[in-house]
Amino acid sequence: MKKIFLALLSLCVSAGAQAQWQDLFNGKNLKGWSVAAGTATYKVEDGAIVGTSRLGTPNTFLKSDRTYGDFILEMLFKVDDGLNSGIQFRSHVTDGRVRGYQYEIDPSSRAWSGGIYDEARLGWLYPLTTNPAAQRAFRPGDWNKVRVEAVGNRIRTWINGVPAADILDAQDAEGFIALQVHAIGNPELEGKQIRWKQIRIMTSGLEYELSPETGIAQFNCIPNTISEREAAEGWKLLWDGRTTEGWRSHKARQFPSKGWHIEEGMLVVEKADGAESGNGGDIITTQKYRNFILSVDFKITPGANSGIKYFVNPEINSAEGGSAIGCEFQVLDDERHPDAKLGINGNRTLGSLYDLIPAPKDKPFRKGFFNRATIVVRGNHVEHWLNDVKIVEYERNNAMWNALVDCSKYRNWVNFGNFESGHILIQDHGDLVYYKNIKIKELD
């Protein structure tokens, strides 16, 4: 009897959960929707909403008249080859532009459909560089199934049933849903189309329909915080986003009295005359680190120069002027700063191991946005990553490394790059640069 009762209860719960789905599109007309921003066109055809690209117009959006907070959203889409698109959610119109979260639709070879983009604000929150399974899930020229789960600060997406993205973010708790026809600059793309159908949403009873944990990487997009998952994995904040605790001048025991300030959760190197360590000077961690993964978000202004150094030992490599010496992840505007054209084979460009090993020219830098620098140190093995793509890799403490140093500006520094441990440094080069989300995970 007990088993029968539980089975009946399960059926009732399941039926109740299914009954909570609401159709957002009636399959006949665009009732409940309106166009925002651009002038691309939308129509209903064969039970689907059809968006048609148009030359000379900005991104165009067909937005829901209602706004939604916590929800599960599902629909199908089919997109013509070459036409980028997206599905907005928890979005808003400000200053005539649609801004907010976007489920990416990307039929290009990059294959980031299902990733999360922050339209007209922060850019990519979850590209699919770390999720090849989701990249393979998109079906060109066919209908693809979307699923978005947005509950509280957590947002997860799927593409054709494959987990795609998982973020924590607190920018928007609610907003409208919108279907995007992306702006085009190529006349050959004019008239290309994207279709959406079977659009439905659930806003209550979500606990019955939320998917189990998927195991894919989770990105914490809430500035200067450590998520539960990050804490469990051993991550710690290296900068708290509010104070100068844990940092000091590379030349003194105190934090610099000028040249740096904290602004809206960002650590800011102030604009001066572009001289190396000529304003407030470099800052270093109060502690030394040996084996670690360091993650730092940075945004450079036009023509700016800075850097993130490691294995810094100012008490050994001391100098009257200039920066403290250490291995450096170069932070630079390659297009405008002259240092990008110096050195050898581009080894002073963004992401390079400065003056030693060049980063590739096609690195995934996002101009005008925050970018993530990651430095991995496991003993003598070191890696530089930019926006989750590895761009530099090397071994130190060997003959090849020493020969490389002998051909660089560091040739006169004894034991350069071979120290077992050192401070982490952020460079003042007299240019305006922003830093945030400075985190570290120490390794055994």
At 138-193, the pLDDT tens digits run 999 999 999 999 999 999 999 999 999 999 999 999 999 999 999 999 999 999 99
User: Is the pLDDT reported for residue 194 higher than 90?
Assistant: yes
User: Is the pLDDT reported for residue 356 higher than 90?
Assistant: yes
User: Is the pLDDT reported for residue 212 higher than 50?
Assistant: yes
Domain 228-442, CATH number (from 2.60.120.560, 3.20.20.70, 3.40.50.720, 3.40.50.300): 2.60.120.560
pLDDT score recorded for residue 82 = 94
User: Is the pLDDT reported for residue 15 higher than 60?
Assistant: no
At 281-326, the pLDDT tens digits run 999 999 999 999 999 999 999 999 999 999 999 887 655 567 889 9
CATH architecture assigned to 21-220: Sandwich (2.60)
pLDDT score recorded for residue 8 = 41
Looking at every residue in the chain, the average pLDDT score rounds to: 94
At 373-425, the pLDDT tens digits run 999 999 999 999 999 999 999 999 999 999 999 999 999 998 999 999 999 99
pLDDT score recorded for residue 321 = 62
User: Is the pLDDT reported for residue 3 higher than 60?
Assistant: no
- Beta strands 162-168 and 219-220 are parallel
Residue type at position 57: T
Alpha helices per DSSP H over 105-235: 132-137, 228-233
CA-closest candidate to residue 89, choices 77, 76, 104: 104
User: Is the pLDDT reported for residue 1 higher than 50?
Assistant: no
pLDDT score recorded for residue 275 = 78
pLDDT score recorded for residue 317 = 62
Residue 412 neighbours by CB under 8 Å, 6+ apart: none
The two structure tokens encoding residue 370:
């925050």
- The answer to whether the 21-220 and 228-442 domains have the same CATH topology is yes
For residues 88 and 71, give the distance between their C-alpha atoms in angstroms, rounded to a whole number: 13
In the predicted model, what is the mean pLDDT of residues 36-55? 97
The reported pTM is 0.90
Direct distance between the N- and C-terminal alpha carbons of the chain, in angstroms, rounded to an integer: 55
**C-alpha angle with apex 246: 240 to 249, nearest 5 degrees?**
120
In the predicted model, what is the mean pLDDT of residues 10-25? 66
pLDDT score recorded for residue 314 = 87
User: So where are the chain's domains?
Assistant: 21-220, 228-442
pLDDT score recorded for residue 422 = 97
For residues 184 and 58, give the distance between their C-alpha atoms in angstroms, rounded to a whole number: 8
